[in-house]
Amino acid sequence: MNFDIKKIVRPNIEILKAYSSAKDEYTGEANVLLDANENSLGSPLTKWYNRYPDPYQKKVKEKLAFIKQIKAEQIFLGNGSDECIDILFRTFCEPGKDNIIICPPTYPMYEVGANINSIEIKSAPLLPNFQLNVAHIEQLVNEQTKIIWICSPNNPTGNSLDRIDIETILNHFNGLVVVDEAYINFSKQKSFAQSLIDYPNLVVLQTLSKAWGLAGLRLGMCFASDAIVKYMNKVKAPYNISMVTQELALTALEEVGQVNDMIAHLVDMRIALAAVIETMPFVEKVYPSDTNFILVKIPKATELYRYLLTQGIVVRDRSSLENCSDSLRITIGTEQENTALVDAMAKWIEFTFAND
C-alpha cells in the first residue's frame, strides 16, 4: 500500500486558511469575555447558554477516547454521523472530478452525499449472500477514487461484512475506506476503531443514535488518523456541536452499564422476534441480523407495509433496493410493540393468502 493523505485531500482544503474563532484565539481562563459578541447579560434560559460552545468538544472527546481506547486527536464529532459523511465528501472529494464506491443495498446517505457534492458514484453491489464483492470493487478503483464506503453491520440487510474482506480493501486501496459501524454495539464483531494504528486510510463512523438511544441528540463520531481529523476540522462549521449536546453527551457517556443492559435486552428481543416471524406461513426469509432490526422477505411486502400503516405500525419498505425485492426492514420495538406487529402480520397473512 502506498497511502499518502496529501494526495487524497482536496487541494483547496490543503491550502485552506480555516476560520479562526474567538475561542480558537483565546483558550485560557479569563473572566471578562468581550471577544465573541455574545450577550454578556445572559439568556432567557440559564446563564451559561449565552456563550459559544467549545468548537473542538474537548471534554466529550476525552471521555470517548477513554471509552474507545483511542486518542482524543483521532476523534471528529458531527451533528449526527450524517454530518461526518458530508464533511468527508467536502474534505476529500473534488466535485465533478473524483468518484466514490458504494456497495448496495446499503445506507442511502453515501449516495445522497455524493450527489449533493457532484461526486461520481461507482457501484459494486453486495453478493447474493450480502457480502462484499472485493474483486468488483478492485476493478472499479481508478486514480480518481477517493472513498470506498462500507457499512458493517450493514443497513438494511443487518449482517456484518467479512472482516478479512474489509482488511483486504484497506491493504490494497490508496484512498479512504470508511467503515460505518452505526450498529456495532449490537454485534459480536470487533470494531475497527482499535485498528486505526494499522491503517492510515481507515475512517470509522459510530453514532449515539442507535445503541445509545440518543437519536434526538444528534451526535455522530468519526475515528481516524490525526491527519484526517485535522483536515475535517478545517471544513466543519466552527460550532457544529451545541453546548446542550455536549453537556448531555457527557452525562450519557457515564452510563455505559445501563446502555449495555439495553443492548442485551434489544438483542434478546431481536432473536425472539426473528424466531416468531420465521415460523409464520408465507414468510420467505428472516435474514440473520447483527443489529437492532431485521430484514424480512415476504410476498407482497409492499401490500403488507401499507396494511401495517393502517394499523398505526410503521416499518420500512426496502423492496426497491438492489437484491431486496419484497423486503421490509423492521426495527426491534418494545415487547408490546413487537407483539402488536406480530399480531397485525398474522392477521394480514391470514386474509391475504386465504385462497393460496
Ligand X SMILES: *Cc1c(COP(=O)(O)O)cnc(C)c1O
- For the CB of residue 239, give the shortest distance to ligand X in the complex, in Å: 18
Backbone dihedral angles phi then psi of residue 81, each to the nearest 5 degrees: -65, -20
Nearer to ligand X, 82 or 317 (CB): 82
Nearer to ligand X, 149 or 173 (CB): 149
How far is the C-alpha of 326 from the C-alpha of 349, rounded, in Å?
14
Nearer to ligand X, 252 or 345 (CB): 252
Closest CA to 233 of 66, 38, 23, 4: 23
Nearer to ligand X, 9 or 208 (CB): 208
- For the CB of residue 234, give the shortest distance to ligand X in the complex, in Å: 21
* List of residues 6+ apart from 261 with CB closer than 8 A: none
DSSP assignment of 198-246 equals: T-TTEEEEEESSSTTS-TTT--EEEE--HHHHHHHHHHS-TT-S-HHHH
- For the CB of residue 180, give the shortest distance to ligand X in the complex, in Å: 5
* Whether 192 contacts 167, CB under 8 Å: no
How far is the C-alpha of 23 from the C-alpha of 39, rounded, in Å?
15
* Whether 181 contacts 223, CB under 8 Å: no
- For the CB of residue 76, give the shortest distance to ligand X in the complex, in Å: 13
Q: How far apart are the first and last CA of the chain?
A: 57
How far is the C-alpha of 164 from the C-alpha of 150, rounded, in Å?
13
Nearer to ligand X, 52 or 186 (CB): 186
Closest CB to ligand X: residue number: 80
DSSP-assigned letter for residue 184: G
Nearer to ligand X, 203 or 345 (CB): 203
- For the CB of residue 181, give the shortest distance to ligand X in the complex, in Å: 8
Which residues of this protein are in contact with ligand X, per CB under 6 A?
Answer: 80-82, 107, 151, 155, 180, 182, 207, 209-210, 215, 220
Closest CA to 132 of 87, 99, 101: 101
- For the CB of residue 105, give the shortest distance to ligand X in the complex, in Å: 11
Nearer to ligand X, 82 or 98 (CB): 82
Nearer to ligand X, 91 or 207 (CB): 207
How far is the C-alpha of 148 from the C-alpha of 113, rounded, in Å?
13
- For the CB of residue 264, give the shortest distance to ligand X in the complex, in Å: 20
Closest CA to 183 of 149, 162, 212: 212
- For the CB of residue 314, give the shortest distance to ligand X in the complex, in Å: 16
